[in-house]
Structure 1
Amino acid sequence: MDTETLSDHLVELAYGPKELYVDNTYRRILDSRYTEIVGFDFFCALDDAIETALIDWWLSDDAFWGEVKAFEHWQDEVEDGMAWELMDVWETWYGADGHVKIRKASEREKVSYDKAMKKLLCEHEKKKVSIEAEAVRIGL
């Protein structure tokens, strides 16, 4: 992952602690034992703990980045294959001749095309779900 992408991810991850601070500065945090007004130091410690967990323990891990790179490669292959499948289905019914002129499909062919496209889009949706599931599995 390049430096720009990594910094974008870190900015997104840092958004949570900063927003928590803005939303809760000097508000009351309720506990079953007591109520306490929290100050700036509490949120600094919380920010440090989140940064340590995210950056030092998770994002800096070589095994994690290896999985991310393998995932991105696999995702690119799957999405590229999906794009080619869409083009193949389109060309089957509306393919261009040698002069790049689009052929006119009959009504029967249009119905067949619609069925094939719906089936293909359903398969693509399943592939997208599997991509999302794999991203969640590796921690993205």
Structure 2
Amino acid sequence: MARIANVNIPHKKRVIIALTYVYGIGSTFASKICAEANIPLAKRVHELSEDELSRLRQLIESQYKVEGELRREVSMNIKKKKDIKCYQGLRHLRKLPVRGQNTKSNARTWKGRAVAIAGKKKASAKK
């Protein structure tokens, strides 16, 4: 099993797909990394030589922020917004969507499960 940035990447997948298992590397960065390391896109991870794997590791460590370092930076940015109590920070504190999404009928992921209010009935037609 190949390890890149302290992550076990799947050995049967193509290199460009396997690199996306590392936090901070998407398909665009994966293709750039493969191009810079002179690795064909169709090659699979188990077909890589030790030299190619070491080139990948070295390239990722030197030029990209991935895994723990990136997660730490993102969480520090969120914490800073919470501390200065800007609008986005307040939305994070209240566990609501941060980027202007509608919350009247959606946002269940952030708000949690819908809870029924006791005693509230739907309006009915007059008889």
So what's the TM-score if we normalise by structure 1? Answer: 0.28
Q: In proportion to residue count, which structure has more helix?
A: 1
Name which one, 1 or 2, has greater alpha-carbon Rg: 1
